Amino acid sequence: MVTHIGSPITLGSQGLTCGPQGFGAMSIGLTMGSNDLYGKPSVKQDDVNTLVARMVELGCNHIDTAQIYQSAVGLMVPCCYGCSYLQNSESLLKQAIQNVGRNKVVIATKVSGMKKNFGAKAHVKKTCYESCARMGVDCIDLYYMHR
């Protein structure tokens, strides 16, 4: 069994370290109806749980996701129409993170640039708290703006 995928790297000056390889979670959240971005059946919760558990088992601890990795319907229909029920990457990761243990993963997520108030302090803060709630965590290790 592989238990290490390379030497850890340090991000910034606060002591955060992660492995050199990460898991990009875009394809588990971006969906077009019942299919993913690539036309394959959408990933189910059990599949995400298995994938994250295996990732951690192999020594990968970095998960990269984004608030915007969601159903294409959610991207086209403004949030005021109640799109919060739609599948998205962050909400699918919640149970998987709980299963492996929060201390086993480094979570990176992004604030979307598709909102009219992109970059405004209040928007960034609100969106950060929403991401924390979707993933069931009290903090995000790396938070940045999506292009």
143 is catalytic: no
- Give the span between the Cα atoms of 89 and 107, in whole angstroms: 12
Using DSSP's 3-state secondary structure scheme, residue 15 falls into coil
Q: What is the 3-state composition of the chain as percent helix, strand, coil, each rounded to the nearest 5?
A: 40, 20, 40
57: nearest Cα among 101, 10, 94, 91: 101
- Give the span between the Cα atoms of 129 and 145, in whole angstroms: 14
94: nearest Cα among 49, 127, 28, 38: 49
* Annotated catalytic residue within 38, 69, 85, 129: 69
Catalytic residues: 69
